[in-house]
Structure 1
């Protein structure tokens, strides 16, 4: 029998499926304030997704948190390892840049398996447009550290229209950053 710590998210990522991951920086500090840091974080994210053979479907990286939609192929049990490596490597790099060895950068992450199509569509919309939700930009297409522009350019037009028409206001996501 498992006993879970009530103040920490319970990571039950047991393989195949689509997951939404949200993570915030320690004490909501803006460690990724500069655009270059967000660009570097995105590059690291893409490298780690390739390394672990995970399919990144949507991402939004802001100055103190991020959201991801990741498809985990059948038989792949590496999502938790990938997120751990992402946080560890990012923290080491940022701490080296700021000359602050050992500083805590990431607080925690929350994950949820997406099991219904409508929930998946709403969460895709939410992640693609998250910079607008936080008032960073008036149009997500203007924000280079999210998947919105990539999605518009690469997904079938019918699918793009379906996602952008979704109402994401009712989804419950830890996003008080």
Structure 2
């Protein structure tokens, strides 16, 4: 019987992380600031490269590349969630816990998969009807990619959303 061993060390990963009961925590600037700080604290101890990120009201998507020889993304998410809870927990109107227990992780497999997930991260605010063009959503790495010419400013087009009503 073959022994199928997977070595995911140093790989690039796509994640979806959702708030508990889909609470719209990240409409609050303080919540977004606490999340930024939690990520910064985690990266200081357990480095990783953020390839792409988008924060939506009740969830986030991101693409990370871990250092060679490291595959412990679960520890990183545990630290981020715990630090966010400590930073945000005492100063909000929401009941604990803030996060769903699990998250979605997908190992990026090649250039095409990478591009697909980068596009998915950045188009998500339009997909959920939060804005009608990608560049209108401020909490995304999309703007950095426009500056580096990875995307044109008008990437994702401009769709008509009646009265700005979301599809969530």
TM range, normalised to the smaller chain?
0.7 to 0.9
Structure 2 unaligned regions, length at least 5: 1-5, 157-166
Q: 1:104 aligns with which of 97, 118, 132?
A: 97
Alpha-carbon distance, 1:13 to partner:
8.7
**SS in structure 1 of the partner of residue 71 of structure 2:** coil
**SS in structure 1 of the partner of residue 81 of structure 2:** helix
8 Å contact 1:19–1:111 — kept in the other structure?
yes
**Number of residue pairs matched by the alignment:** 150
**SS in structure 2 of the partner of residue 81 of structure 1:** helix
8 Å contact 1:38–1:62 — kept in the other structure?
no
Alpha-carbon distance, 1:88 to partner:
0.8
TM normalised by structure 1 equals: 0.73
Alpha-carbon distance, 1:15 to partner:
2.1
TM normalised by structure 2 equals: 0.77
CA radius of gyration, larger in: 2
Write out the 4+ residue segments of structure 1 that deviate beyond 3 Å after TM superposition.
Answer: none
Aligned-residue Cα RMSD (Å) equals: 2.5
Q: Deviations over 1:132-171 (max 9, x none)?
A: 11111222222221110011113xx3x436xx58xxxxxx
